[in-house]
């Protein structure tokens, strides 16, 4: 059972008149994204995108083909951790480097196993402030 369920509508960046409805659901094990008229082999109305935190790693699973039972993509975000940033990347961040480092330190002390923005801000605040204009 989802602890948080958030319905949303995305506008097509190339054609703003076109939209698609979706649902984001969060539970203790992960985050699922479903979209109207999209599904999975095992569930026609299922969520073809699932994000989990497993074995100290954030992983994204995508069912990109409704005719395939298993996920077609498995993406690790291990190399996306701020702590994996090279000096060149930090130099590119420039002024924001200090705030990014502070955020990582605060997140790590708040929830040592996870440094993601969702855990840092809390899912409701993260959605309201960063990813939904009409929450």
In a shared domain, residues 54 and 9: yes
Segment 21-56, tens digit of pLDDT: 999 999 999 999 999 999 999 999 999 999 999 999
Q: What is the pTM of this model?
A: 0.66
In a shared domain, residues 27 and 62: yes
In a shared domain, residues 53 and 38: yes
In a shared domain, residues 56 and 91: no
Among 34, 49, 78, identify where a domain stops. 78
Q: Which domain holds residue 125?
A: 81-135
| Residue 118 CB burial class (10 angstroms; 0-12, 13-18, ≥19) | buried
**Overall domain count for the chain:** 2
Copy the structure tokens of residue 48: 């073809």
Among 61, 78, 95, identify where a domain stops. 78
Closest CA to 7 of 125, 121, 134: 134
Q: Using CA atoms, how far apart are residues 51 and 53, in angstroms rounded to an integer?
A: 7
Cβ atoms 36, 48 nearer than 8 A:
no
Q: Using CA atoms, how far apart are residues 85 and 72, in angstroms rounded to an integer?
A: 28
Segment 50-99, tens digit of pLDDT: 999 999 999 999 999 999 999 999 999 999 888 888 888 877 877 555 55
In a shared domain, residues 88 and 73: no
């Amino acid at each position: 059972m989802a602890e948080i369920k958030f319905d949303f509508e995305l506008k097509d960046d190339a054609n703003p008149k076109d939209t698609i409805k979706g649902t984001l659901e969060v539970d203790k094990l992960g985050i699922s994204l479903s979209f109207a008229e999209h599904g999975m082999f095992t569930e026609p109305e299922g969520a073809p995108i699932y994000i989990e935190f497993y074995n100290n790693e954030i992983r994204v699973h995508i069912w990109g083909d409704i005719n395939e039972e298993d996920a077609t993509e498995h993406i690790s975000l291990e190399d996306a951790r701020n702590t994996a940033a090279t000096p060149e990347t930090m130099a590119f961040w420039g002024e924001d480097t200090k705030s990014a480092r502070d955020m990582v330190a605060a997140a790590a002390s708040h929830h040592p196993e996870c440094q993601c923005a969702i855990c840092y801000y809390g899912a409701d605040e993260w959605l309201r402030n960063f990813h939904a204009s009409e929450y």
